Structure 1
């Protein structure tokens, strides 16, 4: 189990050559691993994974967590029953951000969400970015028109880009066995162009269905300046993805960045 921090003289410090400390989670002895061919980290003196939810830290984890102060990284979080786990980031508003690189089971997903409650997932999507294609632009879900439209999933087998979609009026819907008039997005193209704020339909080959089960915000990181949030367009519509500038996300949740945000998508 690799950790970025350990306790040395009761201070939370990063690994450095010849240091020894104590695990801030379980209290057992740790040693700094600082080889020339590995990223510096803390390891337990005895092979031990004291938090079963913890995945070994990758450079992707480190790059993300480094946007928050040390005090907000690798925070031991307790619930009302006394159970504890290490949160990747817990900001000053007690919002937990979990950076997930490896696959996760639905059972663990639910357990973590129930434990942390107020949390956000950021998922490393570089392993499946080539299996996703964004599709038609959608209007701003908060536009008054969108209170009465249900956007339909693109059922075509074409994996390429589609610039249009279909929808129906929710007020026309009388139940699953009743016909409803289907409309083309061409009818509202002006509204789409004038209100679009980053929502798109999408195609996902071999999807990781576990993320559709999440009750918390899920954002995919494809290695660019834009995160993509998995969400429903509204309660009556298909899933879509919504652009969220990475720098804006970091700042909105208490981090800091000196990089220039990507301003177009």
Structure 2
């Protein structure tokens, strides 16, 4: 089941340049990307987050964070010592990556739809050590992704009404099936009917993998 959108920006900077989450509504801090002022918003319906006082996000790549995003960020922070919402700057252009590891590996956690052009743009910006994790829970649970086991953990699949843009990714790709199941994508068709192949692994073991493209 798709997660409900609950945040816009999780972290901002205090006057000591430390990453902080808002502790009360109206709290002021600084956006680590643009340096603009942000305000804390806390409540019972929507989880605590920061919003730009200007009313718009400085990063066009940033999508509203869901519970799914937060769970993944917490996993990566705990098991891989990831920096969450890491600001990456190249050629005077900055973007907030969902998570960055100490070795430079970047994780993009993608719940919403994304075009092949946007995938290419992010891969060019973040480089070869980019790892995609796509939320495929609804497609898998509903049966639209049909896995067929081969051997040694290898699977083929058919995907009804697929997210075809995933097939254009040139970096390491994982599909999150939920319930602790991750699918490491090796190949996916751009045609209809859509199929592909890869390996089924457990998300609990993600800390044991050096998962970035050579």
Shorter-chain TM band: 0.7 to 0.9
Do 2:13 and 2:19's aligned partners in 1 also have CA atoms closer than 8 Å?
A: yes
Do 2:12 and 2:20's aligned partners in 1 also have CA atoms closer than 8 Å?
A: yes
- In structure 1, how many angstroms separate the alpha carbons of the residues matched to 2:210 and 2:187? 22
- In structure 1, how many angstroms separate the alpha carbons of the residues matched to 2:179 and 2:203? 8
Do 1:125 and 1:222's aligned partners in 2 also have CA atoms closer than 8 Å?
A: yes
What residue ranges of structure 2 are gaps of 5+ in the alignment?
Answer: 1-6, 189-194
1:136 CA drift (Å):
3.7
Q: Any idea what SS the aligned residue of 1:218 has?
A: strand
Residue 37 of structure 1 pairs with residue 37 of structure 2 = no
- In structure 1, how many angstroms separate the alpha carbons of the residues matched to 2:210 and 2:10? 21
Residue 111 of structure 1 pairs with residue 66 of structure 2 = no
TM-score, length of structure 1 as denominator length: 0.68
Residue 145 (structure 2) aligns with: 132
**Deviant stretches of 4+, over 2 Å:** 250-254
How many residues are treated as equivalent by the alignment?
191
Deviations 1:37-68 (A, max 9, x none): 11111111121120000001111101110121
Residue 27 (structure 1) aligns with: 35
1:244 CA drift (Å):
2.2
Residue 163 (structure 2) aligns with: 208
Do 2:110 and 2:135's aligned partners in 1 also have CA atoms closer than 8 Å?
A: yes
Closer, same or farther: CA 16–251 of 1 in aligned 2, 3 Å: farther
Q: Any idea what SS the aligned residue of 2:114 has?
A: coil
Tell me which structure has the larger Cα radius of gyration: 1
TM-score, length of structure 2 as denominator length: 0.83
What residue ranges of structure 1 are gaps of 5+ in the alignment?
Answer: 139-195, 255-265
